[in-house]
Amino acid sequence: MEAELLKKCTDAGIRITAQRALIIETLIVSDDHPDADLVYRRAVERDQSISLPTVYRTLNLLEDAGIIKKINMNDGKARFEPVRKDHDHLIDADNGHIHEFQNQELKKILDSIANEMGYEVIDHRIEIVGRKRGESNCDCIQIKVY
């Protein structure tokens, strides 16, 4: 995946510096969805010359180029992940953990809605914010469709 993302960068005209390559690698090996501060902390463990502003600038550059995407959280923190198709997110409202999921029935519904309106789905993003049943007084769920 790293080679694929680096190729996307060069195709987008983004110069690959050692620090940018490290930030990309940090995102790829993350099994969570890190925010900019966590990307920085992980990257600085491997290269102490990297700065927080460099991480922020690189993340913004990669997002603008469509190479990574930002996941906005209810806690005000933006998380990042490499762009991959065909998955959505369920966000635990209590601990912020992001669960990735795929659902073919949901995809069929979205395709059907788009088709009825004369469109073809080329991309979608759904973030569901929920709370495990029985763990609070609220059995609420919030769904965001972008």
Using one digit for the tens of pLDDT, what is the confidence trace for 7-39? 888 899 999 999 999 999 999 888 888 999 999
In the chain, the largest separation of any two C-alpha atoms, in whole Å, equals 54
pLDDT score, position 89: 79
DSSP 3-state assignment of 105? helix
Please check the confidence at residue 59 and state whether its pLDDT lies above 60: yes
Please report which residue ranges of the chain form alpha helices under DSSP H: 2-11, 18-29, 36-44, 52-64, 104-116
Fold of 2-82: Arc Repressor Mutant, subunit A (1.10.10)
Taking the alpha carbons of 62, 64, 69, 70 in that order, is the dihedral positive or negative?
positive
Q: How confident is the model at residue 56 (pLDDT cuts 50, 70, 90)?
A: very high
- Write out the residue limits of the CATH 3.30.1490.190 domain(s) in the chain: 88-145
Residues of the chain with CATH 1.10.10.10: 2-82
Least confident piece of the model among 50-54, 55-59, 87-91: 87-91
Q: Binning pLDDT at 50, 70 and 90, where does residue 144 land?
A: low
Determine the pLDDT at residue 71: 80
pLDDT for 145 beyond 70: no
Report residue 101: phi and psi, to 5°.
-150, 160
Q: Which CATH class is domain 88-145?
A: alpha beta
Alpha-carbon gap, residue 71 to 33, rounded angstroms: 8
Number of H helices, E strands in the chain: 5, 6
Q: Is 116 exposed, middle or buried (0-12, 13-18, 19+ CB in 10 A)?
A: exposed
What is the reported pLDDT for 54? 95
- Residue 128 CA to residue 98 CA, distance in Å, equals 10
- Give the per-residue pLDDT at 97: 80
